[in-house]
Amino acid sequence: MKSKTLRIAEKYLKKIVEVIVDRPLGSTHPTFNKIIYPVNYGYIKDIVAPDGENLDAYLLKVNYPVKKYKGMVVAIIHRLTDDDDKLVVIPVGETITEEEIEKAVDFQEKWSRSKHIIIK
């Protein structure tokens, strides 16, 4: 049975979305100040996840801090330990491998068992 977040997230695969970045590249985690974001991280406005917060998103292949960015959803970080899946968004026209995604999000995802779903 699919998690609630996965069912929501799957609707956005291969869609263009706008990521509101509340943790830009180079910023520190609001609670765990030893975690520095090597990527832009934020959420998709008006898409509420089961935790009551907006659906989270990693913005990859944008190597400078941004406040918001429109890009293509190419993958989902499906967490097996909680119902808090994340979208993976990249610039339109770019490509990315599963290995590149794993490396980019490991700083945060290493704490939970995850399964990546990639659209090729």
Predicted pLDDT of residue 83: 78
Please say whether the beta carbons of 87 and 9 come within 8 A.
yes
Strand 86-90 and strand 54-59: pairing?
parallel
51-79: per-residue pLDDT in tens? 889 999 999 999 999 999 999 999 999 88
Structurally, the chain folds into a number of domains equal to: 1
20-48: per-residue pLDDT in tens? 999 999 999 999 888 899 999 999 999 99
How far does the chain reach from its first CA to its final CA, in angstroms? 23
Q: How confident is the model at residue 119 (pLDDT cuts 50, 70, 90)?
A: low
**pLDDT for residue 117 is more than 60:** yes
Predicted pLDDT of residue 32: 86
Rama region for 51: left / alpha / beta (φ>0; ψ in -120 to 50; rest)? alpha
- CATH of residue 104's domain is 3.90.80.10
Range of the domain at 92: 4-118
